[in-house]
Structures are given as structure tokens and as C-alpha cells.
């Protein structure tokens, strides 16, 4: 009788090795993270609260911005608390179930960003190209359908991936990242992972397709907006921030996917960590800032919220 493969189907805990070479700077990293994560929470909560509390912001575009900020809070909650704990802990481990939950939260949040930016592009197309029909097209029911699409489709995709991953028999327990990632677990499988690979690539292609669709729609919008000063101003004010957010998320997603699957171990760990963290560092703070500070209506309401007594702004 052959001895069983090492750790076959008995992995209960994963080891995260992403911090191994940077532990001498753990307290610096902890201090920076302890400042940065509350800042993310503050900025996103401020925009969410401002949009909810002011009726003039109960328009489709601002509802989608609110959803984007809620998603920022949701996604970062899957990483930062565990990361700060690991900075203080001697052993960087996570349970099998906890690892799958972390994968689900982080990557469903990333996919939700793509979905939300896509429906925001549709909203801008209707507002700029069909302004007289805007309120008849972007009804409350249509907005609700868009929000459900933004959240349900990423949840379905990640549930499918997690289900496929949970069925694998594993022959290892070391993940060379700061957090759990689906492909890192799939690579530990003792047997064929063709189904996981095909489904994973299909989901990647679908969501990169979201980005391509948005970029193409903005090329069309840009051509339409050149015909009038009002159109150009509307494009610059509402579409350029959206485009910046999309470029940032797409670049971060591309780095994460390409490096996880094809990256070299010769790259310094600090560089690997930054590339893995980019979509957890930049979009959660960039989104509320570019929408909260750049969009005049939101900015005015934020100023009223915090400084009305100091600057004498009345409601």
C-alpha cells in the first residue's frame, strides 16, 4: 500500500509568507496601516453618509458612487484587519475556511468595482447622449437592477470559483502572498486543475471585457461631447474621474492576475507585495476622493457637513 501524499486533503491552516522578508519593518508598516485604513474608512463613510442624507444627491450617478464606496469598505475589511494582526503575530497563518472567506471578500469586491464602473458608464452615456430621456430610462427600478447586477454577478462568479477550489485535494499549505488568493491555492493541488483554470480565465476575460466596453463607450462619448461646450464640461466633470478610477482598477487587476500566474520569484518580495496590494491600496482611497472632492455637488455637501458652523454655510 502506497503512503498518502504529504498533506493530501488534510490542509487545515495556510501559511502566508509575504511578510517574511519585511518583518524588521513591521512596526513602521503597522503604524502606516493603522493611519491609512481609518482614513479609507473615514473617506468612504463620509461620501456614503453625505449621499444618503441629502435628497438632491438621490440621483442614479450618486447612488452608484455610494455603492462604489460601500464596496471599498467591504473589500478592505477582508484584508487590513488580518494584515495588522499578522504584523504583530509571530506566525502568519490563516485557517482553511478563513482563507476561502478572505478570497471571496477581496476578489468579489474587485469584480464589483468593474461592474459598478460599467453601469456608471451606461448612466453617463444616457445622461450625455439622451438627456431628454434620462429620467424615463434611469428609473428607480432600472437603478435597482443595476445595483443588483453590480453585486450579484461578482458574488456568483466568486462562489463558483470558491466551490471549485474547495473541491481540490491539496499537497501543500504555503501561500507566497500577504493574503489568500485563489490561484495560489489552486497551484497547491495534487491533481489536474484544468476546470479551475478555464473558469478562472473565463471570469477574467468577462471582467476585462467590462473595461474594454467602458473605454469604447467613452471614446464614443468624447466624440459626441466635442460638439458643444456644455457636453465637454459635463464629460470632464463626471466622466474623467470615472475613467481614472477604471484605469486604476484595470491596471491593478492586470498586475495581480499576470504576476500571480506568471510572475518570477526573482522579483524582490517588496515589489511583489506592492503589486499584489495595489488594488487594495489605491482604489479604496482614490474613489471617494475623486468623487467626493471633484464632483461639485458632493463636495459642497461634504463642506456643509463638516464646516457649516465654521464658514457660515447654511442649509
In CATH, what number is assigned to the domain containing residue 141? Answer: 1.20.1070.10
Range in 10-19, 254-263, 303-312 with the lowest mean pLDDT: 303-312
| Domain-located, residue 313 | no
* Residue 175 covered by a domain: yes
Helix (H, G, I), strand (E, B) or coil at 155: helix
pLDDT score recorded for residue 265: 65
Q: How far is CA 236 from CA 175, 230, 295, 303, in A?
A: 43, 10, 10, 22
Would you say residue 311 has pLDDT above 60? Answer: no
E strands along the chain, which residues? 13-16, 93-95, 174-175
Q: Mean pLDDT lowest for which of 172-176, 215-219, 259-263?
A: 259-263
What pLDDT was estimated at residue 20? 72
pLDDT, residue 294, reads 67
3 state SS of 187: coil
Each residue's pLDDT tens digit, 3-33: 444 444 467 889 888 777 666 778 888 999 9
Q: Considering the domain boundaries, does residue 185 fall inside one? A: yes
The yes-or-no verdict on residue 166 having pLDDT over 80 is: yes
**Res 5: pLDDT:** 43
* Rounded-to-integer distance, Cα 95 and Cα 104, Å: 14
pLDDT of residue 3: 44
In a domain, 7, yes or no: no
Please tell me the distance from the alpha carbon of residue 124 to that of residue 240, in angstroms, as a whole number. 11
pTM score over 0.85: yes
pLDDT tens for each residue of 30-50:
999 999 999 999 999 999 998
Residue 173 pLDDT > 70: yes
Q: Give the pLDDT band of residue 210 (cuts 50, 70, 90).
A: confident
Domain with 20, as residue range(s), is: 13-301
Q: What is the pLDDT of residues 49-70, one digit of tens each?
A: 988 988 888 889 899 999 999 9
pLDDT at 309 over 60: no
Q: Is 107 contained in some domain? A: yes
Query: What are the residue ranges of helices labelled H in 133-282?
Result: 134-137, 140-166, 182-186, 194-225, 229-234, 240-262, 269-281
Number of domains present in the structure of the chain: 1
Residue 275 has pLDDT above 60, yes or no: yes
Tell me if 183 is assigned to some domain: yes
- Residue 96: predicted pLDDT: 92
Does residue 3 belong to any structural domain of this protein?
Answer: no
Higher-confidence residue of 263 and 252: namely 252
Convert the pLDDT of each residue in 227-248 to its tens digit.
766 666 767 776 777 787 788 8
Question: Largest alpha-carbon pair distance within the chain?
Answer: 83
Confirm if 298 and 57 have CB atoms less than 8 A apart.
yes
Are the beta carbons of 20 and 262 closer than 8 angstroms?
no
**Pairing assessment for the beta strands 174-175 and 93-95 based on DSSP bridges:** unpaired
CA atoms within 13 A on the CB side of 287: 34
1 domain-assigned = no
Amino acid at each position: 500500500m502506497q503512503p498518502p501524499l504529504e498533506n493530501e486533503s488534510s490542509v487545515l491552516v495556510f501559511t502566508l509568507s509575504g511578510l517574511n522578508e519585511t518583518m524588521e519593518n513591521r512596526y513602521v508598516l503597522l503604524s502606516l496601516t493603522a493611519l491609512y485604513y481609518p482614513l479609507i474608512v473615514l473617506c468612504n463613510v463620509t461620501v456614503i453618509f453625505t449621499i444618503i442624507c441629502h435628497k438632491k444627491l438621490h440621483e442614479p450617478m450618486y447612488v452608484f458612487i455610494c455603492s462604489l464606496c460601500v464596496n471599498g469598505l467591504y473589500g478592505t475589511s477582508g484584508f487590513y484587519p488580518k494584515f495588522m494582526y499578522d504584523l504583530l503575530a509571530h506566525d502568519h497563518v490563516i485557517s482553511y475556511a478563513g482563507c476561502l472567506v478572505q478570497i471571496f471578500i477581496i476578489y468579489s469586491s474587485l469584480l464589483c468595482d468593474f461592474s459598478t464602473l460599467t453601469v456608471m458608464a451606461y448612466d453617463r452615456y444616457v445622461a450625455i447622449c439622451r438627456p431628454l430621456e434620462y429620467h424615463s430610462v434611469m428609473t428607480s427600478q432600472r437603478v435597482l437592477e443595476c445595483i443588483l447586477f453590480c453585486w450579484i454577478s461578482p458574488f456568483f462568479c466568486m462562489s463558483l470559483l470558491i466551490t471549485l477550489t474547495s473541491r481540490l485535494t491539496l499537497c501543500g499549505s504555503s501561500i507566497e502572498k500577504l493574503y489568500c488568493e485563489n490561484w495560489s491555492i489552486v497551484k497547491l493541488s495534487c491533481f489536474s486543475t484544468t476546470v479551475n483554470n478555464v473558469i478562472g480565465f473565463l471570469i477574467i476575460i468577462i471582467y476585462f471585457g467590462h473595461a474594454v466596453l467602458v473605454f469604447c463607450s467613452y471614446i464614443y462619448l468624447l466624440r459626441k461631447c466635442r460638439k458643444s461646450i456644455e457636453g465637454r464640461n459635463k464629460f470632464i466633470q463626471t466622466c474623467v474621474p470615472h475613467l481614472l478610477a477604471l484605469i486604476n482598477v484595470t491596471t491593478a487587476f492586470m498586475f495581480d492576475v499576470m504576476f500571480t500566474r506568471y510572475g518570477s520569484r526573482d522579483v524582490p518580495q517588496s515589489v511583489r507585495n506592492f503589486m499584489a496590494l495595489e488594488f487594495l491600496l489605491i482604489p479604496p482611497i482614490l474613489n471617494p476622493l475623486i468623487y467626493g472632492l471633484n464632483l461639485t455637488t458632493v463636495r459642497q455637501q461634504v463642506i456643509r457637513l463638516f464646516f457649516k458652523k465654521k464658514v457660515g454655510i447654511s442649509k
